[in-house]
Amino acid sequence: MTYKIIQSSPWLFIATLLTVIFSGAAILNFLSIYHILPKGQPLIFILCFAPIVGLAFYLPRYTATADIEIIIDNDGIKRKWLRQFILHNRKDNEYKWTEIADYVFQPDRQFDQFKLHLKDGTKFKFYHNNDHDSKDDFRNFLSNFVERVEQINNADIDKRNDIKLGKTIYETFGGLLLALLAVIMIVGIPIMLLAFPTKKTPNYAMLGVAYIGAIYFVVQVYLHRKRRKTYEDSFK
C-alpha cells in the first residue's frame, strides 16, 4: 500500500511564523518612526498588521511542509521524499519489520507525531499537521499500519519479537512528573496571589496561556495513561 502524506516541521513552522511577525512589526515601526504611517492611529496599525499575521500563518504551508510517500509491504516500511523541506536534502528510508522494536503515535493539538524505535537504537519519526488530515492519507496510513503490525504479531510464534506499542511522552515517568508540577502550579499560583498580594497587577494574559497549556498537558497524561491501561488489559 502506498500513502501520500504531507510531512510537517513544527520548528520551521514556528520559525517562519515568528520571523514574519517580528519582521512585519519592525517594518511598521520603521514606517511609524519616519512618519510614513501616522502615530496614535491604532485602527490604521491594525489594518496594516492584519495582512502580516495572515502571511505568517500562510507562508509555513510552503516553508514547513514536505511531501512524502510511505509504502507498506510484506518486507517493511519505506519513506520516499517527493518534495523536501527548504534547504534539505535527505535520503529515503527503508526498514524491515524484523528491525522494528516498537512504534509510537503521539497526537497533539497541532502536530501529531509518528515514531519507530528500531532494535539497533535508530529512531525514525515524522510530524503531521492536523490541518492536513483531509488533504492526505495520514489517517489511513496510521490505521493500516496498526492493522499490519497486529497481523505480524499474531503470525509470530516468538512473542519476544513482537512489534510493541511504545510510550508517548505523556506515558513516561518524566511526563507524569511534569503533570504533577503542572497541577502544583495550577493550584499554587492562586494561593500565592491571595496569600502574598502585591500592588503590581499580575499579567493575566500570560497566566491564562500558561494555565491552558498546563491543563491540556495534565488532561493528555490522564487520557494516554488510561488508553495504555486499556491496551495492556486487553492482553491479560
CA separation for the pair 16, 53 (Å, rounded): 11
> Tell me, what's the pLDDT at 96?
93
Whether the predicted pLDDT of 20 surpasses 80: yes
Q: Name the more confident of 86 and 235.
A: 86
Q: What is the pLDDT of residue 230?
A: 66
| Residue 6 shares a structural domain with residue 101 | yes
For position 93, what pLDDT does the model report? Answer: 92
Question: Residue 186 belongs to what domain range?
Answer: 170-233
Q: Which of 5, 2, 1 is nearest to 135 (CA)?
A: 5
Question: How large is the average pLDDT for residues 66-72?
Answer: 95
Domain match, 71 and 135 both = yes
Give the residue with greater pLDDT, 144 vs 29.
Answer: 144
> Is residue 157 domain-shared with residue 193, that is, in the same domain?
no
Residues 129 and 191 in one domain: no
Mark whether 139 and 201 lie in a shared domain. Answer: no
Please tell me the predicted confidence (pLDDT) of residue 232. 57
Number of domains present in the structure of the chain: 2
* Among the listed residues 113, 80, 74, the one whose alpha carbon sits nearest the alpha carbon of residue 97: 74
Clarify whether residues 140 and 153 are in a common domain. yes
Q: What is the mean pLDDT of residues 46-56?
A: 82
pLDDT in tens, 147-156: 999 888 888 7
Same domain, 86 and 135: yes
Of 181 and 206, more confident: 181
Q: Which of 114, 139, 166 is the last residue of a domain?
A: 166
How many whole angstroms separate alpha carbon 185 and alpha carbon 206? 14
Lowest mean per-residue pLDDT among 17-21, 56-60, 155-159: 155-159
Sorting pLDDT into bands at 50, 70 and 90, what band is 40? low
183 and 151 part of one domain? no
Judgement on whether residues 36 and 129 belong to the same structural domain of the protein:
yes
User: Residues 84, 177: one domain?
Assistant: no
- Is 68 in the same domain as 11? yes
Whether the pLDDT of residue 233 is over 60: the answer is: no
Residues 45 and 27 in one domain: yes
Q: Which one, of 113, 220, 104, 111, lies nearest residue 163 by Cα? A: 104
